[in-house]
Structure formats: C-alpha cells, structure tokens
Structure 1
Amino acid sequence: MLLAASALILLTLAGYAALCTVQPFAPCRACSGTGTRKVTRRGIKLCRRCHGARYRLRAGRRLTNAGRRLHADGTRTHRTRT
C-alpha cells in the first residue's frame, strides 16, 4: 500500500514536471485568461496579476527557473590559461 502511494506521488510529480517543461505558461486565474479585470466608463482596467498578458508562469516552472539561476550563480566558470 505504501509503495503504491509513493509511486503514485512520484508519477504525479513527474507528470507535472513534464507539463511545466512543455507548457510553462497557464491562463491567469484572476482574469480567466482575458487580460482585463473590469470595463469602466474610463476604459479597461488590466488584470493586476498578469498585467494584461493573459498568461502566468506556472509555479513549477518558477521553481525550476530559480533553481537553475541559483546553480548558475553558485558555480564558477572554468578559466583557461592564455
């Protein structure tokens, strides 16, 4: 039972990682992918979360990008003698 639950969790995480790799952007949840929040007499107000772009970066992709940036900043470049 425990082995099956662990395998199911790992399979779910692997599927989400593949989804973040293939499709890193998802429709904004605040505006449902329209890019607008309200239409007023003065004009259209853009969504605060996506700033009118209609898409947001997935949480898994944000985590992956932060990990890559941290690794790149923490590793030294190989110097060659001239």
Structure 2
Amino acid sequence: MLLTSATLLLALSGYAALCMASPFGPCRKCSGTGLRELRKGAKTCRRCHGRRRRLRIGTRAYNAWRRTHAAGTRPTTNPKGAPPWR
C-alpha cells in the first residue's frame, strides 16, 4: 500500500513538473504535424488548427481550477491596516 501510494505521488508530481515546464504538448490527432491525411489530400487538423501543439490535460485542469478559485474569492481591496471584514 505504501509503495503504491509513493509511486502514484511520484508519478503525479512528475506530471505536474512536466506541465509547469512545458504546458503545450503535441496534438494527439495529427501526431504533431498540423495536417490530417484524407483520401482527397491533406487538410489542417481541426483540433490544433494547424499549430501542432495543444494544452496538456493537467494544464487545462489547473487553469480551470484557478478560474473557479478566482471567481469564488472576494477581491482584497482594503485600505492599509483595515481588517478584512470592514
């Protein structure tokens, strides 16, 4: 149980470090080429719009959490020295 928890924690922290270092990863649909092969020829990828990179799932989840947290907290525009409830 302890070994499994440690391995999971290590994997999650490694993925979080990867998302912080490189928030964009290659598009999974076009394999990072920006083009989709069709019978008639090639078209730009619909998912990445030809840019070849997309936000990683972890980065997308972190951004959603940050937006939710910012929307749910009150702004702190108090004068200096005033308590937050005034």
TM over 0.5: yes
Partner of 1:10: 9
The runs of at least 4 aligned residues of structure 1 exceeding 6 Å deviation read none
Q: CA RMSD in A?
A: 1.5
Amino-acid identity (%): 58
- One-letter amino acid matched to 1:8: T
How far the C-alpha of 1:45 sits from its partner, in A, is 1.4
The unaligned stretches of length 5 or more in structure 2 are 80-86
Residue 60 of structure 1: which of 58, 61, 67 is its match?
A: 58
TM-score (norm 1): 0.86
Matched pairs, number = 78
The unaligned stretches of length 5 or more in structure 1 are none
Question: Secondary structure of the residue that 1:76 maps to in structure 2?
Answer: coil
Matching of residue 72 in structure 1 with residue 70 in structure 2: yes
Higher CA-based Rg: 2
Deviations 1:33-58 (A, max 9, x none): 111113746xx511011111100100
In 1: Cα distance, 2:50 partner to 2:69 partner:
32
TM-score (norm 2): 0.82
How far the C-alpha of 1:79 sits from its partner, in A, is 2.9
